Chains A and B, each alone.
Chain A
């Protein structure tokens, strides 16, 4: 005899908790078909890669740690780091000008963003490389004092310097917009509270506004860094010996085009993966004041797979 009166229609006890019942999931045929198709594709693609002799995996493996490739990779990383650092500094200055109360500074900053974001990076790159066509020499002279120094443009506008200047200025245009949006996202009350406490404009920016803006700035900046890493391959056009240029000069000799492209792709993917992990930890750091208890492994995976919300591609 049961204490619980059975339900007339189902014959089950009335207060049987749901978790004790067997739950039969809804059949999701669409998903199963999708999975089958995807696996089929994966199989064919994998087989094509594995069995097609043109891929020549053995050659690719031999070149993976080739000294020239390593030097090229080093150059690519160096370019990325230097350009990103310069672009962050310039971008922050431009962004602060854009939110400043001065109309002149605002206009200047807007014009900067308009120009450097609007002209394709490759054109800017080649332009800076050919600066000597515009100015043969760079001269600093002070009226009444004479010439302080004068150098041949070609002497200091080496391909490497041209690449750094061109891509920093271009990247700064994008970063300025990201940083400005971040600054704007901080509620105005924060500024007022800090002013009311007697903090100066500089202190407020540095201690109150920018740290809070970082939460909005870091994710898209991570994307920028990743796309910059790939964008540096443009320097091949002005003969900077980066990863891609090095690979090109090898396969121009040996005709092992596909294996070397595989090596290049591998290294770009590898660096991007490492950068994504770094970005994840940066995001965690700047989001520490509103962190919910989340599984860090899941978050890491999500950020690697790029499936997080609010991560627009540039």
Chain B
């Protein structure tokens, strides 16, 4: 039995689940930051996660692509563990090369952009495809040009990150993640570091992505975006999911008092 089939059968993963989390726990030393997260993000859907600072939203995202190791529970992406292989009921840590290969399928966009500052926009976009996937440079450049056009930055290919505005940098970061053709894109507060007038251009790119059918997990404080684009809205607090549902529903009638209180502060 292949590892993937065994995994799916064992945990009852729905066939259309892109991200599948069951009782996900994460502790730093004695502090438990995630206290049992259950979440399924179906393929092609957009899950928005909101919650107060320190509630563990970033930690959860970082667990999804194995930047952090779980201390308990199961977290699968497209029916597979990212950092392990399940064989004969045991979890084997995978080799670095396999971990890298799987991570390459999970795109991540950070609050602080994290563009490689010593590389031009074009170099940022072709670095991982050429080095990790072995795509020929000419081919990688051609796809990068398509992506830059998609985020509206065709004229910036030879610029260095510091020559771009925050909104432009974030759009490049999105294009860089897309250059790996990821199965799923994780966004960690992608607009929080931006001036208000630059937020719109980044949200527009994300909206287009959602429409194109990309699976996305978005940690955000943009309730408007969550309402319009999200298929699910998840409210997290102190390491647990307090409430989830259709965004309009959750925003209009939050069931929990904590959700109500949080929404009244951000709306």
Contacts and interface: CB of A to CB of B under 8 A. Distances in A.
Contacts of A203: 131-132
Nearest to B176: A197
Given A189-B112, A208-B116, A289-B118, A199 B132 contact: yes
B76 to A, nearest CB: 18
Contacts of A15: none
Nearest to A286: B118
A62 interface: no
Contacts of A192: 67, 108, 110, 114
A200 interface: yes
Interface stretch (B18-26, B96-104, B146-154, B243-251): B96-104
Interface in A177-236: 187, 189-190, 192-201, 203, 207-208, 211-212, 215
Contact of B131 (A193, A199, A215): A199
A100 B181 CA distance: 31
Interface in B119-168: 119-120, 127-128, 131-132, 160-162
Contacts of B108: 192-193, 196
A189 B65 CA distance: 15
B123 to A, nearest CB: 10
Contact of B97 (A189, A190, A200): A200
Contact of B119 (A187, A196, A197, A289): A289
Contacts of A208: 116
B174 interface: no
Nearest to A198: B104
A242 to B, nearest CB: 38
B51 interface: no
B132 A197 contact: yes
Contact of A207 (B96, B102, B131, B173): B131
B117 interface: yes
A194 B128 CA distance: 8
A201 B96 contact: yes
Contacts, number: 75
Nearest to B127: A207
Interface centre among B103, B131, B161, B176 (most CB of A within 10 A): B131
A198 B101 contact: yes
B230 interface: no
A153 B80 CA distance: 58
B180 interface: yes
B100 A193 contact: no
Interface string A137-159: 00000000000000000000000
Nearest to B162: A290
- Secondary structure call for the A interface: helix
Contact of A189 (B100, B110, B160, B177): B110
A192 B59 CA distance: 13
A208 B124 CA distance: 10
B106 interface: yes
Contacts of A215: 118
Contact of B67 (A195, A201, A289, A290): A195
Contacts of A201: 96
Interface in A55-98: none
Contacts of A290: 117, 160, 162
B107 interface: yes
A193 B172 CA distance: 13
Interface string A257-299: 0000000000000000000000000000010011000000000
Given A207-B131, A289-B160, A195 B103 contact: yes
Contacts of B162: 289-290
Given A200-B97, A203-B131, A290-B162, A193 B104 contact: no
B93 to A, nearest CB: 14
A99 B119 CA distance: 23
Q: Which of A197, A200, A211 has most chain B Cβ within 10 Å?
A: A197
Nearest to A201: B96
Given A190-B116, A290-B160, 14 more contacts: A189-B112, A194-B128, A195-B103, A196-B65, A196-B67, A196-B107, A197-B104, A197-B180, A198-B132, A198-B180, A199-B132, A212-B116, A289-B120, A289-B160
Q: Top 6 nearest A-B pairs by Cβ distance? A: A198-B104, A193-B114, A197-B128, A196-B108, A189-B114, A289-B160
Interface of B: 65, 67, 96-97, 100-108, 110, 112, 114-120, 127-128, 131-132, 160-162, 173, 176-177, 180
30 contacts: A189-B112, A190-B117, A192-B110, A193-B108, A193-B116, A195-B103, A196-B65, A196-B67, A196-B106, A196-B108, A196-B177, A197-B103, A197-B104, A197-B127, A197-B176, A197-B177, A198-B103, A198-B128, A199-B128, A199-B132, A200-B96, A200-B100, A203-B131, A207-B127, A211-B118, A286-B118, A289-B118, A289-B120, A290-B117, A290-B162
